[in-house]
Chain A
Amino acid sequence: MTDATFIPADRPFVRAAMLAPEPPPAAVAGFSGWARANLFSGPFNTLLTLVCAAGAAYVAWVLVDFMALRAVWTGANREACVAPGTGACWPFITARFGQLLYGFYPADQHWRPAAVFFVAVALIAPLLIPSAPHKKLNALLFFVAFPIFAFVMLRGGLFGLRPVETRAWGGLLVTLVVATTGIVASLPLGVLLALGRRSKLPLIRFLSIAFIEFWRGVPLITVLFFATYMLPLFLPSGWTIDGLLRALVGVALFSAAYMAEVVRGGLQAIPKGQYEGAQALGLRYWPMMLLIVLPQALKLVIPGIVNTFIGLFKDTTLVAIVSIFDFLGIIRAGFADPNWATPVTVYTGFAFAGVVYFIFCYGMSRYSRFVEERLDTGHKR
């Protein structure tokens, strides 16, 4: 106190302004601070970091080396890729690119699935961006108008479009059709089943439980196999159901059962007070569920829902066993072409498939993170 009031005559300095705040010491701030705290906080962690970094660098090097540095980019047939030490054989992919996207869809009609794809992107993108306007119209277009548009465009037979049977569909087109249908159909079905399973009406509860347990109890392969090869035996002769449709229905019902259990997990986490509060406000069953319970329950289980979606996306490869060539199936069929049989064909094909599947699955995963953070009000830990 005395120091502050009494200033000796030989030291006339008085600070007039506050000192600028110093940056935190290098040891705790910036990248080096972060690295020190998280990667090198002790001898054991330092060792782990170095080992993992070396492993990651090695894998990255192997991938880059195979997929880019030693890769062959142009060529007309297997001769281009048979030299020893060759990396990825990309001409195998480029020569079949149309087939990988559209399967056996007639080449002069490729614009049709392409148009469907672009319209789908144009409708989904604003639906996924929260700030984009006209959500209701957008949703109506995507969930009602788009399926009809896509069906007419892909299947043909109307408006002068040449009919293309579903057995000619293939590649990424089939993967996306099966995955999208499964995803779009399984969520509402799953919600209904989950509510049904918790219903107080015994008949509805029993039917929901029976449905869920039946579809969860059989493997997807059996479902697809049965739908494709057993069903014709039980139908009157002359009756056929489109092969892709059978697979679509199978996949949708199968994933709905899984979705129902995920949603039920969310419903069970909602405290009883929420239901009672809603009832005290005079809300009946559906307003209570739609306005109070489901918004909270679904928000809780976003990771589980997206998990099911990603699993479903990858499970679409199983349609290959019922003679539908999805994206992976058409790549594998390409391996059998003697004109492209080389030591690296198989690795090239699988590397390409891996990259494509990763892009889709990681995209879904990132979007779910975004939605979780956006809706995370009041539960942040």
Chain B
Amino acid sequence: MKQFLTALALGASAVFASGAAQAATLDQVKQKGFVQCGVSTGLPGFSNPDEKGEWTGLDVDLCRAVAAAIFDDPAKVRFTPLTAKDRFTALQSGEIDVLSRNSTWTSSRDATQGLNFTATNYYDGQGFLVRKELGVKSAMELNGASVCTQSGTTTELNVADFFRTNNLQYEVVAFQGQEETLKAYESGRCEVFTSDQSQLYALRLKLANKDDHIVLPELISKEPLATAVRQGDDQWFDVVKWVHYAMLNAEEAGVTSKNVQEMLNSPNPDIRRMLGVEGNFGEQLGLTKDWVARIVSKVGNYGEAFDRNVGAGSPLQIERGKNALWTKGGLQYGPPIR
């Protein structure tokens, strides 16, 4: 069914290739006056409506940054909440311009879904949640542990691979749903709960005493959560990709939403180029000279967005880990703006 619909979408978009799919997305967006952004129907810290009905989250902020770069107004975004099933079809059919919905970047999706992944917004991976009282500091100390997992998922296979590769003994206790698995962990049926790390932090909030549990630092699988755009529009692809890199470069250069106005007078040539004081790098992308200044002043740099939505400034308290800048031992690396 899903494959059929995707095939239908691909076929139809091929037939109507002269239509929506190939018109320059950036021009269309400028014309209609807003960015149509696909997000999840609710994933804590990544995209969820807050009490006032405003969408918030790390994925949401990327879309707001794109809107800020184009319109100088982060509110010119319309969010389309999508389920995992219809996210790629929605992108294909032109219902949305950007898919910023915690989608794992894989070769098959890149090749067959008619989309291009722009950049990894969040490096996720499978991790472990344990009770603090066990005194475990690393996944390597989990010899002989009983592990709660959802049955029939890749999560279960990853655990098997990890323990076998590292010659550790373990026992799997598998359950059907996530809530059920979490309940089993909470009631002590097992010592370790495993899922994607960002999920672990979110699920930890649902435990009675969240501070009694810690997420171990190791990642045992690669789940790069990336933003995607439709294939066949390189200009739009560049815009979305460079909005993310701009946020990284801003953080690296220490440009924040608070000091961006002072930074315009900075003597540092990198910062001058980035903020559009020198050169016309934004115009080359089809944006304006001050595109980075717009993003940073309206949405903030990557570090600010991370802290506000999932990091220390949020209830989730996710560590930067692999999502730290490359200068701080992480994987987030923005190519230079020049």
A338 touches B86 (CB 8 A): no
Shortest beta-carbon distance from B272 to chain A in Å: 38
Q: Is the CB of A230 within 8 A of B23?
A: no
- List of A residues within 8 angstroms of B50 by Cβ: 337, 339
Instruction: Report if B45 contacts A (CB, 8 A).
Output: yes
Among residues 216 to 248 in chain A, which have CB atoms less than 8 Å away from a CB atom of chain B? 225, 228-230, 232-234, 236-237
Instruction: Judge whether B262 is part of the interface by a CB distance below 8 angstroms.
Output: no
8 Å CB contacts to A: which residues of B59-93?
Answer: 78, 80-83, 85-86, 89-90, 93
B193 CB to nearest chain A CB (Å): 14
B42 part of interface (Cβ distance < 8 Å): yes
Chain A 348-380, CB-CB to B under 8 Å as 1, else 0, gives 000000000000000000000000000000000
Choose one: A95, A234, A320, A321; the contact of B51 (CB below 8 Å).
A95
In this assembly, does B260 line the interface, its C-beta being within 8 Å of a C-beta of chain A?
no
In the bound assembly, the distance between CA atoms of A11 and B206 in angstroms comes to: 89
Most buried by B among A98, A322, A330, A341: A341
Distance between A156 CB and nearest chain B CB, rounded to angstroms: 17
Q: How large is the interface on A (under 10, 10 to 19, 20 to 34, 35 or more residues)?
A: 35 or more
Inter-subunit contact B179/A99 (CB<8 Å): no
A273 CB–B CB distance under 8 Å: no
Alpha-carbon distance between A98 and B54 when the two chains are bound, in angstroms: 13
The segment from B7-15, B116-124, B216-224, B282-290 that touches chain A is B7-15
Tell me if A281 counts as interface (CB < 8 A to partner B).
no
Tally of contact residues, B, Cβ under 8 A: 45
CB distance from B310 to the nearest CB of A (A): 8
Contacts of B209 in A (CB 8 A): 82, 84
Given known A-B contacts A96-B51, A230-B5, A232-B95, A78 and B41 have beta carbons under 8 A apart: no
B53 engages A229 (CB within 8 Å)? no
At the interface, yes or no: A9 with Cβ under 8 Å from chain B?
A: no
Q: Is the interface of B mostly helix, strand, loop or mixed?
A: loop
* Cβ distance B4 to chain A, nearest Cβ, rounded Å: 10
Asked whether B48 lies within 8 Å of A336 as measured between CB atoms, the reply is: yes
Contact status A337-B314, CB under 8 Å: no
- Interface bits A323-343 vs B (CB < 8 Å: 1, else 0): 101000110111111110111
Does B53 contact A82, Cβ atoms closer than 8 Å? no
Determine if A186 is an interface residue (Cβ-Cβ < 8 Å). no
Instruction: Known A237-B19, A332-B42, A333-B42; judge A342-B206 contact (CB<8 A).
Output: yes
A225–B6 CA distance with the chains assembled, in angstroms: 12
The residues of A that contact B51 with a CB separation of less than 8 Å are: 95-96, 99, 337, 339
Give, as a whole number of angstroms, the nearest-CB distance from A319 to chain B. Answer: 12
| B202 lies within 8 A of A337 (CB) | no
- A residues apposed to B, CB below 8 Å: 78, 82, 84, 95-96, 98-99, 103-104, 107, 167, 225, 228-230, 232-234, 236-237, 320-323, 325, 329-330, 332-339, 341-343, 345-346
Sorted nearest first, the 9 A-B pairs with minimum C-beta distance are A336-B42, A341-B205, A336-B48, A237-B19, A233-B12, A237-B20, A338-B44, A333-B42, A338-B315
> What would 4 more interface pairs be, CB under 8 Å, given A103-B53, A232-B95, A233-B94?
A99-B51, A229-B5, A237-B23, A338-B45
26 A–B contact pairs at CB < 8 A? A107-B53, A167-B78, A225-B5, A229-B90, A229-B93, A230-B5, A230-B9, A233-B9, A233-B12, A233-B13, A233-B93, A233-B94, A234-B16, A237-B16, A237-B94, A320-B41, A321-B85, A321-B86, A323-B82, A329-B41, A337-B50, A338-B205, A338-B314, A338-B316, A339-B51, A343-B206
